[in-house]
Structure 1
Amino acid sequence: MTLQAGQYQAAIDAKIQEFNTRNFTESFWQKDASLWVQDEKAQQSVRSFMGWLRVAETMQQAVPEIEQFVQEVKAAGFKHVVVMGMGGSTMAPIVFKESFERSADGLPMSVLDTTDPGTVRQIEEAVPLADTLFIVASKSGTTAEPLAFGDYFYHRLRELKGDKAGENFVAITDPGSAFVAAAQAQGYRRIFLNFAEVGGRFSALSYFGLVPAALYGISIEEMLTRAIGMMRACGAYGAVEQNPGLELGVALGVLAEAGRDKLTLVVPGSLNDLGLWLEQLIAESTGKEGKGILPVAGEPVREPAVYGQDRVFVYVGYQGQPDEANRAKVAALQQAGHPVIQILMNDPLDLGQEFFRWEVATAVASAVFGINPFDQPNVQAAKTATDSLMKVVQEQGQLPQGEAPKVTENGVAYYTAVSGNDATDVLRAFFAQAQPGNFLNIQAYLTETPAVNDSLQELRRQVQEQLHLATTSGYGPRFLHSTGQYHKGGPDTGLFVQLTVDHPQDIQLPGRSYSFGTFKNAQAAGDLQALHDYNRRTLRLHLGADAELGLRQVLAALPAALQR
């Protein structure tokens, strides 16, 4: 890792010296919770979630068991794997799937982490159901989305295989979760029990990440070996002169406290989805008590003049692999005085060590802030609001009617606290609230398609170019289990644009009074209510029945609205 911090370097060096004087690394490995918080109850919480520190060692012993399971699955004739979960249960498998080329003996893999009925239907139609292994991944065993996915596909397999449906299902969950008994009752092929002291966003190197990785054909033994190498470098086995996790974490924390709190990730195309994992790890861990680091992933890299003074740029790429365009842009940003961090890997198997480096760094940055990195106190707000709405659905058969839109134009309805006579007026009034150091967050409760992705990127580009704001974008409800914590618990610097759509091709959930589309609508409405409860600035755009057409209408009204 190289760090070019310019005017901030002295403060970073001083904080590293302070931490070393306090024997931070030794105390860290002794799980000394006073590094983060002083309240005894909070310290107990910290200690109870530090099992990730040595989980790579534990998982080394589990490699033969996992590899034998993979051979059993192949021998049974399975041709595809679908991982179903939310947040920490699926982020690492997404990164593995997109960052590695599937080996010749690996199984094709899909990941389902949205209640969007269009996406559920896409996966159902794309895989050979009878020959597909479904992994239902839920740490608590009570997370609503993976349980809904499991119920739906178990019902479909019952229709095909009757009492043998369970042969197509695997559970990954914590010991003692209610899901264990349910999986046993349904005859699941295998139940992998993870570790209660490993939180979801710190679970990439546990069964949650490694079982899908092994099925995909990745050498999990080598990945763990490299992770343990990083553990050693970070002081797991005794004193070290330089601790790469500590140095990265201190830099992130000091820079954020100096106002450089937008951690902007620049990567080659093959690592695009690394941002999803980093978003959850960093935002959910640090975004609380009005503090935090906002990861910015997938944003187009621009010339220095477009950016405010709130950025830190981190380039993650590969040694010896050309990525000239990105590297040239990052060099220009560094030349212009923006702090730049560069991490170069040898090959994708180095992700094992990088997962661990970033986990340490996130915990260290949280120590700079003086917060507990292992809880997520504000995530529950959206869940509680959604649960209340789902009770209304079960009692009345539909979601309650909400407020009237301020404007409806070209089939798009605009819901917000500001006013205007038409779409451009409303957009202008909404974005007029932006201040330097703010960010735009796009919450897309839509089916992901190339055209939708292109429109979201265009929306980000225009706002970035005209207002010089950092822009983030996430598909709902995925982000509720990651950056959703930062949105409510972090600093009040966000402008939130929620995009919703009708679901003409909805899917009913078996044994329930509601559909995937209704569930998703309730999650969107629940999160919007939670944002309102925290007095966040919001704009909901209901795009009608055609998301792509609705987005084009919004983009047509946007340029005039952003002119200053």
Structure 2
Amino acid sequence: MSETAPMTLALGSYQAAVDTKIQELTAADFNSRFWQKDATLWTSDAEAQESIRSFMGWLRVAEDLKKAVPEIEAFVEEVRAAGFKHVVVMGMGGSSMAPIVFEKTSARSDKGLPVSILDTTSPGTVREIENSVPLAETLFVVASKSGTTAEPLAFGDYFYAKLKEIKGDKAGENFVAITDPGSKFITAATAEGYRKIFLNFTEVGGRFSALTYFGLVPAALYGLNIGEILTRALRMMQATGADGATEHNPGLELGTALGVLAQQGRDKLTLIVPPALDSFGLWLEQLIAESTGKQGTGILPVAGEPLADDLGVYGKDRVFVYVGYQPAIDAANAPKLKALQEAGHPVITILMQDALDLGAEFYRWEIATAVVGVVLGINPFDQPNVQAAKTATDKLMKTVAEEGKLPAEEATLSENNLSYYGSTKGTDAAALLQQFFGQAHPGDYVAIQAYLAETPELNKEFDELRAKIQAKLHVATTFGYGPRFLHSTGQYHKGGPNTGLFLQFTGDNAVDVPLPGRSYTFGTLQSAQAQGDLTALRDYDRRALHIHLGGDAAEGLKTVLAAL
């Protein structure tokens, strides 16, 4: 097996600028400074430098986790011996993205347990998971780096109350915590008798935590060979200069290419993958968007947008990255990627041998993202605008506590059981939508945000919506379920360039689920998160339209598609 998955950079007219930047960084002793955590690479501000150094523990964390493999594997054996039949991982952002990728890209081994991942406050999804697993024989993993993240704590409280009804004082035997040392969550988990508490690493930020306990405990429970995943990550670590400068540093080359391309207007990283790797985009979205989308600049990751047959819909703001497997030929995408390259678009290709190479790819992309920060002159380890939506949500939840309900906003238009909210006007839905999308300019993007329970039917309709928008406006489209994307692309939405048009969808909850010890439900929490996000977008002067789809989200979305 090769040391690392091969990468091809077909950058065309941009190659010279990328080569020049790599030579500049090499001449400035980039490699040794990087591995010595020299924060002057990113900023001259002393306070920011200290913050950067405090979040660079991810550089060598794979070495620490390699030593922890026996402990993790022994825990998996303990869980199997105790008779558990299922695992539910409950987290948000960095504590759920890598587990999703591991579960979706790999077949479960006979040593593993089925794994479900809960990272939405949608009451329908919470109830669906509750009804689909054997509660008494299910291990619940509550994952929160800070120990204060609202969503995983709410999930943990809800299912702990359910297990309390079944097992009484032994409910804690069904629970595992993954959190940082010093977290208040440790006290609560200890008091409730959690089976195990994994203490992660304070110097590793959430989006850089795929190769820590947050990613690898769920992977091991699913039956994956985490020792081999880490072995391949360590090979990539060496290839990227951990033991001294190398002639070809795959992390430096990828990051420099992406950074230089972004500076020259190619700031839409369009990820193309075979179906088996669809979930990789969820992880990459958070890493790239949250790390680079600040100070009015950044790179927008575009995942889940199929390559169009008409390549004319792509502007000069795109760079295409294909991540797939060798030696398999991707018949659906290969000819289009070749045509895009011939048309002058930069195309980057990475070919893995199998899903265990994800360990190396997580590492490659983490290094590359840090390098992008150097090129763009930003701190890739902070997230200064994420708090905006949280603050707005907290304010709304105080209103709920005081008044018993969320404040209502007057609709701009109501038609066919749908309600439209925003500054966009129109005599009917078609005219209103036309005015909203008429604001789009070349180089803009449309972000579709769904605060709804995910279903195959909705996914299909949202794909159709993205295709219609792309074909008509020739702009990039992104899509995410809320509140998941708040911990992911949400930073870019508020801190990146003001080039987004935001289309937010909400709906009525057919069922709602009360939260133990709280005066509100999961449905109220999700509605507050949607409303809080919309408030934050407006505060940052973003172009936003909120559409409430009513009681049947799928039918409501069809109505919107018809109006388009």
Q: Normalising by the residue count of structure 2, what TM-score does the alignment of the two structures yield? A: 0.98
Aligned to 2:339, which of 328, 332, 346?
332
Q: Which residue in the other structure is 1:468 paired with?
A: 474
Q: Which residue in the other structure is 2:178 paired with?
A: 172
Q: Which residue in the other structure is 1:32 paired with?
A: 38
Q: Which residue in the other structure is 2:390 paired with?
A: 383
1:77 aligns with 2:77: no
Using the TM superposition, give the Cα deviation of residue 414 of structure 1 relative to its aligned residue in structure 2, in angstroms: 0.9
Distance 2:561 2:307 in 1: 20
Using the TM superposition, give the Cα deviation of residue 405 of structure 1 relative to its aligned residue in structure 2, in angstroms: 1.2
Using the TM superposition, give the Cα deviation of residue 327 of structure 1 relative to its aligned residue in structure 2, in angstroms: 1.4
Using the TM superposition, give the Cα deviation of residue 504 of structure 1 relative to its aligned residue in structure 2, in angstroms: 2.9
Using the TM superposition, give the Cα deviation of residue 467 of structure 1 relative to its aligned residue in structure 2, in angstroms: 0.5
Distance 2:15 2:24 in 1: 14
Aligned to 1:294, which of 295, 300, 313?
300
- The residue type equivalent to 1:318 in the other structure is Y
Q: Which residue in the other structure is 1:188 paired with?
A: 194
Distance 1:326 1:394 in 2: 52
Distance 1:406 1:390 in 2: 24
Distance 2:331 2:58 in 1: 36
Q: Which residue in the other structure is 2:23 paired with?
A: 17
Distance 1:246 1:425 in 2: 48
Distance 1:315 1:58 in 2: 31
Aligned to 2:417, which of 411, 414, 418?
411
Aligned to 1:359, which of 362, 366, 387?
366
Task: Map residues 124-273 of structure 1 onto 2, 5 A cutoff.
Answer: 124-273=130-279
Aligned to 1:449, which of 449, 455, 463?
455
Distance 2:150 2:119 in 1: 11
Task: Map residues 297-312 of structure 1 onto 2, 5 A cutoff.
Answer: 297-302=303-308, 303-312=310-319
Task: Map residues 480-499 of structure 1 onto 2, 5 A cutoff.
Answer: 480-499=486-505
Distance 1:502 1:304 in 2: 38
CA deviation string 1:313-362 (max 9, x = no partner) = 00000011232111121111111111000000011000000000000000
Task: Map residues 534-553 of structure 1 onto 2, 5 A cutoff.
Answer: 534-553=540-559
Give the 3-state SS of the residue equivalent to 2:478 in structure 1: strand
Aligned to 2:402, which of 390, 395, 399?
395
User: Which residues of structure 1 form unaligned runs of 5+?
Assistant: 559-564
Give the 3-state SS of the residue equivalent to 1:418 in structure 2: coil
Using the TM superposition, give the Cα deviation of residue 418 of structure 1 relative to its aligned residue in structure 2, in angstroms: 1.6
CA deviation string 1:262-282 (max 9, x = no partner) = 000000101000000000000
Using the TM superposition, give the Cα deviation of residue 161 of structure 1 relative to its aligned residue in structure 2, in angstroms: 0.6
Give the 3-state SS of the residue equivalent to 1:519 in structure 2: helix
Q: Which residue in the other structure is 1:503 paired with?
A: 509
Count of residues paired in the alignment: 557
Task: Map residues 22-101 of structure 1 onto 2, 5 A cutoff.
Answer: 22-101=28-107
Using the TM superposition, give the Cα deviation of residue 451 of structure 1 relative to its aligned residue in structure 2, in angstroms: 0.6
Using the TM superposition, give the Cα deviation of residue 237 of structure 1 relative to its aligned residue in structure 2, in angstroms: 0.9
User: Which residues of structure 2 form unaligned runs of 5+?
Assistant: 1-6
Moved over 6 A (4+): none
- The residue type equivalent to 1:88 in the other structure is G
Distance 2:516 2:483 in 1: 20
Give the 3-state SS of the residue equivalent to 2:512 in structure 1: coil
Give the 3-state SS of the residue equivalent to 1:211 in structure 2: helix
CA deviation string 1:190-221 (max 9, x = no partner) = 00000000000000000000000001011000
Using the TM superposition, give the Cα deviation of residue 394 of structure 1 relative to its aligned residue in structure 2, in angstroms: 0.9
Distance 1:444 1:317 in 2: 28
Judge which range, 320-329 or 53-62, deviates more. 320-329
Cα root mean square deviation, aligned: 0.6
Aligned-pair identity (%):
69
Aligned to 2:379, which of 372, 377, 387?
372
Distance 1:128 1:332 in 2: 50
Distance 1:191 1:174 in 2: 10
Give the 3-state SS of the residue equivalent to 1:382 in structure 2: helix
- The residue type equivalent to 1:540 in the other structure is H
Q: Which residue in the other structure is 2:127 paired with?
A: 121
Q: Which residue in the other structure is 2:111 paired with?
A: 105
Distance 1:321 1:121 in 2: 39
